[in-house]
Amino acid sequence: MKGTTLSETPKETTFAELNVPAALVAALAADGKTLAFPIQVDTLPDTLGGRDVLGRGKTGSGKTLAFSIPMAARLGGKLAGGKRRPGRPLGLILAPTRELATQISAVLTPLAAAYGLNTTTIFGGVNQTRQVTALKAGVDIVVACPGRLEDLMKQGFVNLDAVEMTVLDEADHMADLGFLPVVTRILDKTPSNGQRLLFSATLDNGVDKLVKRFLHNEVLHSVDEATSHVSAMTHHVFEINGPDAKKDLIETLASGTGRRILFMRTKHHAKKLAKQLTDSGIPAVDLHGNLSQPQRDRNLAAFSDGSARVLVATDVAARGVHVDDVELVIHVDPPMEHKAYLHRSGRTARAGSAGDVVTICLPTQKKDLAQLLKKAAITVTPVAVTAKSPEVTALVGEVASYVKPVPRVVQAQGGGRSQGANAQRKRSAREGQGGGRSRSGSSRDYSTSTAGSSARRHEGSSTTRSPQSRPERSARPATSGGAATGGQRTHRRVSSGR
């Protein structure tokens, strides 16, 4: 395996100088992109030349464009496989999550359009009808998550025997999610003589086996170390003395005029914090695994267009979500391991821009956080602060104007009665215990006790209720400003890339 490692920042190089076709240079320029980033400078000569490539780059290094350019250039040129055929794409890009697949498609689509190529995304969490319709109509490039793609392959809607170029992005995340067996089965269905590009931060957890099995005479290109952080990123650790001080600090850090992403450990707390910030005059939306795909798209759109300047997310957003000019990432809850810290932090200081990362640390978290930062090779001196400390106000900068929350429309309760046998049995049980009241004599508050099994596990709750004490499920809550409201039972959804 031939390899190169970039240890210095090279001189500025244009895409035209890298022999990117004129049609793509024009499409890139129309989007304000004229200069290539290091991983693009390093890989494009080989990828445009048809070589298999193993790319190792840190978060935010520009690798999406590094494989999208050759995908469009080679499939739109001499490699074009003739007449477009239903269910038989020429190009395939595999991504671990639907967020990442959507982001890749947004970068690739205008480049593919320069050659008259069309693209589609395939992932779980949505009805497959649109995806099947696109495949039947004929599609040139598919950007897919492994689970749903394999489902459609088994149903006979897609055949990979005509694929001429395959990209596997975030292979290490695929491994973390347990997708490598599915990925192996999918790659086995692509022609062995096709071009393959694999991008991964690390080669552990079985990624190295994929490389040995599916890449031939590959070229290795690395940008810095696999676990390195971005040099334009400034890290801060703010130590606070308790939950009340933490709440005040969070609101202050979120109050600036620029975009911020706040990371939480559980879906319930992400949802709850987004609602609290919105009610405090700071428009915020949430992003986590309990949201449907339309809800995710709506909230990301609100964050992108500026109608909400704060995104409160779980680790589902730590990869694949790229919104320009995120100036601050806040680890409200420190992550469990160092790779998650680096990927969360990588939502800022992307592609050459600068950014700040703050980790909020309670007294009981100091030891674990110190170990995490050591593994991530982050050197930072913790500072004890309050919401009014100069270190905090300097980081916040200009405070945004108060935005009056839009009143939430609360659906009337009790407007209809299900006549199903299960509903009638529950009503009878409740009436036998006092008309639907809890054993304490008051209505049960769901704002903290029924946030879904995931949240209960994180909060250490093991309380169970008998069927007689379970209240009738209330109506689904309305939302305001793109952020889901707290206080109601949520249905657990699968948050993987299927």
**What are the mean pLDDT values of the chain's consecutive 10-residue runs (498 residues total)?**
49 89 94 88 92 79 88 80 82 92 92 94 93 95 96 97 94 86 96 92 79 91 56 88 94 95 94 95 92 86 92 78 84 90 81 82 95 92 95 93 81 55 71 52 40 42 43 44 44 45
Q: What six digits make up the tokens of 101?
A: 């697949």
Q: Which helix (H) or strand (E) holds 214?
A: helix 207-214
Residue 108 contacts residue 93 (beta carbons within 8 Å): yes
Residue 58 contacts residue 201 (beta carbons within 8 Å): yes
CA 396: distance to chain centroid?
25
Q: CA torsion sign, 233 to 239 to 240 to 243?
A: positive
Distance CA 318, CA 322 (A): 10
Distance CA 41, CA 36 (A): 6
Distance CA 470, CA 136 (A): 47
Distance CA 315, CA 97 (A): 11
- Torsion angle in degrees (nearest 10) through CA of 252, 256, 258, 260: 10
DSSP 403: -
* Of 364, 12, 50, nearest in space to 196 by CA: 50
How much is the pLDDT for 388? Answer: 95
Sequence length of the chain is: 498
Residue 330 contacts residue 250 (beta carbons within 8 Å): yes
Distance CA 4, CA 41 (A): 12
Q: Where are the domains of the chain?
A: 2-223, 233-396
SS3 3: strand
Dihedrals phi, psi of 374, to nearest 5 degrees = -65, -45
| Residue at 234: amino acid letter | T
Residue 275 contacts residue 484 (beta carbons within 8 Å): yes
How much is the pLDDT for 323? Answer: 76
Distance CA 253, CA 328 (A): 9
How much is the pLDDT for 469? Answer: 43
β-bridge mates for residue 234, sequence order? 356
* Of 202, 493, 352, nearest in space to 211 by CA: 202
Which CATH number does the domain 2-223 belong to among 3.40.50.300, 3.40.50.720, 3.40.250.10, 3.30.1330.10? 3.40.50.300
β-bridge mates for residue 5, sequence order? 222
Identical topology for domains 2-223 and 233-396: yes
Distance CA 38, CA 47 (A): 14
How much is the pLDDT for 59? Answer: 59
pTM, two decimals, is 0.64
Q: 233-396 has which fold?
A: Rossmann fold (3.40.50)
Q: Tokens 């649109």, residue?
A: 130
How much is the pLDDT for 315? Answer: 83
**DSSP string covering 6-22, please?**
E-SPPPPEETGGGT--H
Region of residue 291 (left: phi > 0; alpha: psi -120 to 50; beta: else): beta
- Torsion angle in degrees (nearest 10) through CA of 445, 448, 450, 451: 140
How much is the pLDDT for 3? Answer: 53
Residue 379 contacts residue 352 (beta carbons within 8 Å): no
| Alpha helices in 306-389, H assignment, sequence order | 338-345, 366-375
SS3 98: helix
Distance CA 351, CA 366 (A): 31
Residue 79 contacts residue 164 (beta carbons within 8 Å): yes
